[in-house]
Amino acid sequence: MLNVENLHVSYGGIRALKGVSLRVDAGEIVTIIGANGAGKSTLLNAVTGFLKPAAGTISFKGKPLSRRPDLIVRDGICHVPEGRLVFANLSVENNLAMGAYLRNDKKAVAGDLEKVFALFPRLKERCKQSAGTLSGGEQQMLAMGRALMTDGELVLMDEPSLGLAPLLVQTVFEIIGEIHKLGKTILLVEQNAFRALSVADRAYVLEQGRIVKEGKASDVAADPAVRDAYLGAESKAGG
Amino acid sequence: MAQFLQQMVNGLSIGSVYALMAVGYSLVYSVMNFSNFAHGGVIMFGAYFGFFGITLLKLPFPAAFVLAFVGTAILAVLIERIAYKPLRERKAPFLYFIISAMGASIFLENIIIATIGPTFRTYPDVFGRSSIALGPVAVGRLDLIMFAVSAVCLTGLVLFVEKTRMGRAIQASAYNMKAAALMGVNTDRVVMIVFAIGGMLAGIAGVFFGMKYTVYPQIGNITTKSFVAAVFGGLGSLPGAVLGSILLGIIETLVAGYLSSQFRDLIAFVILIGVLVFRPTGIMGKTTEDKA
C-alpha cells in the first residue's frame, strides 16, 4: 500500500534520512522503532507532504504521492501527529467534524462518528466541551478519532503513547488494536519499542537516518542487539 | 443625560467602523501570527476606490461601494501573494513578515502620492447632512448607515466563521496550520480567503472614513486605532476585536465630548498601555500555546 524507496530528506540543514526504503502492505500494522533523533518523525512528515524529499520516491496504492498535505489526505493517508495537535479552540465535536472536512457523504460521516464514539465513549460525553480542557489521554483519543474521521485507509501514528501515564499507555495500545480491527492499515512510530513490537506484524529499526534491521515484529523483538538497545529493563519486567 | 446618550451613539457608530478594520487585523493575526501593517494601505485604497467611483466614473453610491470593497479584497490578496507568500513558503521568522508588511504599506501610500497627489479630497454629499431624531438623540444619516452596514458585516463574518465548513477550517488553521492541513484543509487557500475578507472589510471601512472625514494618502494611519482596538480586545479574537473597537469608539467620543478632543488619542493610548500591563492578552485574547 505504501512504498518508500531510497528516501533522502534533509531537515534544518541536517540529512535526517539517508536512503530509507520500507513498505507497508494493506491490513498490516508496521512499526518503526528507534531512538530520539533517528529520523522517525521526519519519515512520517515526508509521507504526509510536510517535508520534501531530496531524493527517492514515495508511492501510495501504486501511484506517486500527491505533492500537498491536503491532497495526500484526500488520497487516503491520515496522520495522528506527535503532540496530538488537537484544536484546543474548538469543541470535541468540531474537532471530529474537522476530521471529516473533505467528506460530503453525510450518512457515512455519521456512521463513522458512531464508530469513533463507540471506540472512545469519553469523547461522546465531552462532545460540547472545548478540546483544550481535555486531559492528555483524552486529547490523544481525540487526535485518533479525528484521524479516523478522515476515513483514510492508512493511519500514521507518531508517538501516540508519549507523555501518558502507564495505565493510559496500555489503553492506547489496546485502541491501536481496535483501530486495526476496523480495517485500517497502521504505520506506528514509537519510542516504547516493547509495546510497539508486541502489537505490530512487522518492524523496522531506524538508526541515524538508516534502516538497520527489519523483519517480523516477533523476530525483531527477539534480536539480542534490539533487546539491548531498545527493550532494556521493560522487556525483563514485562517478560 | 441627553449629551451622554448622544456621545454613546456617536461612539458606537465610529467604534463599529473601527471594528471593521480591527477584525481584518485580527483574522490575519490569528491565522498568520503577525500584525499586517499593510492593512492601513488597503483601507486607504478603499477610500480612493469609492471616491473615484463616485466622482470620476459617476457611479451611483451602491455601485461605487461594491467597486471599493471588491477592489480592496483583490488588493489584499495580491499583497499576500507578493509580499507574504514567498516568506511563508520559506518558513521565515515573523519579523520578516512585519518588515515586508511595512514595505508594502509604504509602497501603497507612496504610489498614491506619486500618481494622484497628496491633496485632501472630500466625498460628495451622498446621504445628506440632516439627522434623524431618536428620542433626545440626533443621529446623522451617515452614522446610522455606518453602524447598520458594519453590524451586518460583522454578524455575517461571525456566522461565516462559526457555522460554515470553511469558517471552521479558518479557526482550525488559526490554532495550528499543520494540524489543519492534516485534516485535508488547503491552508494556502485559507490564507487567501482570510486576506480577501480582511481586505473587503477594510475597503468598506475606507469608504466610510473617507465620507466621514476626508480622503488623503495617510488616511490609513487610522488603522493604528483599529490595531489598538484589536490588541485591547485581544489579538486573534473576533469578538474581542469588535468589543475593543466599540469601547475605543465610546471612550474617544466621551473624552472628546467631556474633556477635549485634544486628549482623545492620548487617553485612548494610555488605556491601551494600561490593558497591556495588566492583561497582556487583551480582554478576550486567544491563547497562543502550541502555535508554531
pLDDT digits (tens, 9 = 90+) for B62-98: 999 999 999 999 999 999 999 999 999 888 998 999 9
CA distances from B32 to A52, A196, B22 (A): 22, 37, 15
- How much is the average pLDDT of B156-165? 93
Rounded to 5 degrees, what angle do the CA atoms A135, A103, A176 make? 40
Instruction: Decide if B166 is inside a domain.
Output: yes
- How much is the average pLDDT of B41-53? 97
- How much is the average pLDDT of B257-274? 84
Instruction: Decide if B203 is inside a domain.
Output: yes
Instruction: Decide if B231 is inside a domain.
Output: no
Neighbours of A142 (CB within 10 A): 25
Average pLDDT, chain A: 91
Task: Please write the tens of the pLDDT for every residue from B238-250.
Answer: 888 899 899 889 9
Tally A–B CB contacts below 8 A: 72
Cα–Cα dist A124/A95, whole Å:
12
Contact A101, B185 (CB under 8 A): yes
Strands A29-33 and A202-207: parallel
CA distances from B114 to B40, B45, B78, B107, B123 (A): 18, 14, 20, 10, 21
Residue to mutate among A87, A140, A142, with most B CBs inside 10 A, is: A87
Instruction: Decide if B235 is inside a domain.
Output: no
What is the domain range of residue B35? 2-116+135-219
User: Which of B169, B184, B286 is facing A89, going by the closest CB pair?
Assistant: B286
Instruction: Decide if B257 is inside a domain.
Output: no
Instruction: Decide if B122 is inside a domain.
Output: no
ipTM: 0.90
Percent of chain B with pLDDT over 70: 97
The count of structural domains within chain B is 1
Positions in chain A whose pLDDT score sits under 70:
232-239
Neighbours of B108 (CB within 10 A): 20
CA distances from B255 to B219, B259, B261 (A): 22, 5, 7
Residue to mutate among A77, A90, A98, A112, with most B CBs inside 10 A, is: A98
Cell of B87: 516568506
Neighbours of B135 (CB within 10 A): 7
Query: Cβ B182–A89 below 8 Å, yes or no?
Result: no
On the question of pLDDT at B285 being above 60, the answer is yes
Q: Name the burial class of residue A183, with classes exposed (0-12), middle (13-18) and buried (19+) by CB atoms within 10 angstroms of its CB.
A: exposed
Say which residue the cell 461612539 belongs to: B11
* pTM flag (> 0.80): yes
Instruction: Decide if B188 is inside a domain.
Output: yes
Phi, psi of B288, deg, nearest 5: -105, 15
Task: Please write the tens of the pLDDT for every residue from B183-231.
Answer: 999 999 999 999 999 999 999 999 999 999 999 999 998 888 888 888 8
Cα–Cα dist B127/B65, whole Å:
13
The pLDDT of residue B290 is 36
On the question of pLDDT at B274 being above 90, the answer is no
Average pLDDT, chain B: 90
Residues of A in contact with B176 (CB under 8 A): 85, 87
The partner residues of A188 in beta bridges, in order of sequence, read A31, A157
The pLDDT of residue B233 is 83
Cα within 13 Å of Cα(A29), Cβ side: 24
Instruction: Decide if B124 is inside a domain.
Output: no
Task: Please write the tens of the pLDDT for every residue from B102-140.
Answer: 999 999 999 999 999 999 999 998 888 788 888 888 888
Say which residue the cell 515526508 belongs to: A46
Provide the total of helices (H) and of strands (E) in chain A, helices listed first. 11, 10
